[in-house]
Amino acid sequence: MMKQREVTASDKTQWTCVQAYAAMDTDTADKAASLSETEDGGVPVVCTPSGGAQTVRLELAKDWLDTLTDEELTNAITAAQ
């Protein structure tokens, strides 16, 4: 099961964010995720908007699903646009 989060930005755009490689089988995903991890422990996250705006790639902390507030996540998306 791919873990994802949905957040709504201040402009009412709904964003769906998933960690890159999360859709692969567990062993492959774990390996790909650890290979893609940055030196400071960040992981690649892809956020796709409703309404056809451009997808945004973020680098977030490994525990972003559990620790980032919706506001922090939408701020990261806005900063990366």
Q: What is the pLDDT of residues 21-65, one digit of tens each?
A: 655 555 555 555 555 555 666 888 999 999 877 999 999 998 999
Please tell me the predicted confidence (pLDDT) of residue 68: 95
What local confidence, expressed as pLDDT, does residue 52 receive? 75
Identify the pLDDT of residue 35. Answer: 52
**Count of domains in the chain?**
1
Residue 72 structural domain: 4-80
The pLDDT value recorded for residue 14 is 95
Nearest Cα to 37, choosing from 53, 13, 21?
21
The reported pTM is 0.74
Query: Cβ distance 69 to 62 under 8 Å?
Result: no
Question: Given a cut of 90, is residue 7 above it in pLDDT?
Answer: yes
